[in-house]
Amino acid sequence: MSDFIPPYPIRHPKTLGGLDTIKHLRRDLLSFWTENAFTRKFITMKLLNRTLIIANLPEAVNYILIQHYDNYQKKSSLMQKSLMPLIPDSLLISHGDLWQKHSHLIRPFFGPEQLTTFSAVMQQTLHEQQERWGKLPTTNTLPMLPEMRALSATMLCRILFGSQISDADCQALTKSVAAYLHSIEDLDVNTFFGLPTWVPSLGGNKSGKAAKAVHECIDKIIATYSPANTNSLLGLFLSLPDLSPAQIRHELLAFFLAGYDTTATTLTWVWYLLAQCPDVEQRLHQEIDSVLNDTEALADLPTQLPYTRAIIDETLRLYPPFPMLSREAAAPDTFHDKPIPAGATILIVPWLLHRHKAYWEKPDHFIPERFLADAPVKPTPFTYLPFGFGARECVAKQFSTLQLTLSVALLAQHFRPQTKPGLKVTPICKVTLSPDNDVPMTIVKR
């Protein structure tokens, strides 16, 4: 069992003042937490003229995301304002009747039959990655985060638009989406925390211009590939008469947006953690060598590789791609004798819940075994939510699990990415959680 404590940002001994909090939030959503935030179960924060309720306990997750979902289904003004220019009517940020309609239409496309089709695309893309890594010289160094971003983007573009999509079109879409994400990095703090108008906003109108560029790029791709491949998500969406061309565009973008960088950063963290923990890496190799072969159908592989899955689950616990979830109360409510006014912002923070000292043994340690079926202590229900919970749980959860498992298994089957001694990596979060550098690694052949 690993005894490695992976890096995490500074934890302050006491609560920061309002302006210091704003300064930290603009730099990083992870670096303003205090040490006792990882022990408290209900936190009320006053930030200038805004009160935030942080529901830091499993009963609150169940209450807000499942039992009283109807009152808390609306995403916060943060996400609304950040993503509205890009995907205004998508499943990701819509609510009410529109969300119900799109959820009903889209969820069947992520069932077992379609995952089998998608797994073949993933497998082919990963075999190409194996070939590229196999040709590297012995003395190589790769920036792992950009490497995994390119892999994730290629895989997603082929699933979205068909395997015949060109590398140039895939790169153009990836570049435009990355520019959009960069444009909203500084947009959110004022909106999210309801700051007064005299607090300067760094976002400007960059997001609107960046969204227009993304739309022009994906519209060109849709026009090029729409007749070509009925097995792509584009082909499946085009078969739905109830989705307009603009809605199809926005759902495709929402899927790319939700899966591109989150998959890439999770894989980067997996390789980094394995490089620090040779005992975990050795057990991973033993499992995939005993189970994996190149010819079998891979769609059900996650159930056949429990330790590989445990490594991924533990990585997502330590580094959840979306470390802060927010909801707005539609009507007044009360929880644990705490009044919740209509319009209040409720924060459910996986970054805190996943490392909470009341719910996890050695919460800052990397211990994949805690997610195995025979673990002596099971995770407390509603304390592990990398994909959310309830009706708004990520529609592509099984897709993402398959993509991560195949990527780790097929690449670790032949390679051991290693870090140089002394490499320092710290998690940061602007839009999603990621390493603060490109994580240079050497690809060692097994």
Structure-block tokens of residue 374: 């025979």
217 labelled ligand-binding:
no
**Can you tell me the distance from the alpha carbon of 328 to that of 132, in angstroms, rounded to the nearest whole number?**
47
Structure-block tokens of residue 133: 């890594």
38: nearest Cα among 293, 273, 353, 326:
353
Instruction: Name 316's bridge partners.
Output: none
Q: State how beta strands 345-348 and 50-55 pair.
A: parallel
Contact 154, 163 (CB under 8 A): no
**Can you tell me the distance from the alpha carbon of 407 to that of 118, in angstroms, rounded to the nearest whole number?**
13
Backbone dihedral region of 387: left (phi > 0), alpha (psi from -120 to 50 degrees) or beta? alpha
Instruction: Name 44's bridge partners.
Output: 53
**Can you tell me the distance from the alpha carbon of 323 to that of 316, in angstroms, rounded to the nearest whole number?**
10
350: nearest Cα among 29, 6, 89:
29
- Count of CB atoms within 10 A of residue 167's CB? 11
Q: Measure CA 243 to chain center.
A: 26
Q: State how beta strands 333-335 and 440-445 pair.
A: unpaired
Contact 224, 125 (CB under 8 A): no
254: nearest Cα among 75, 117, 37, 129:
75
**Integer Rg of the chain from CA:** 22
**Can you tell me the distance from the alpha carbon of 349 to that of 43, in angstroms, rounded to the nearest whole number?**
11
- Known binding-site residue numbers: 394
- Known binding-site residue numbers for heme: 394
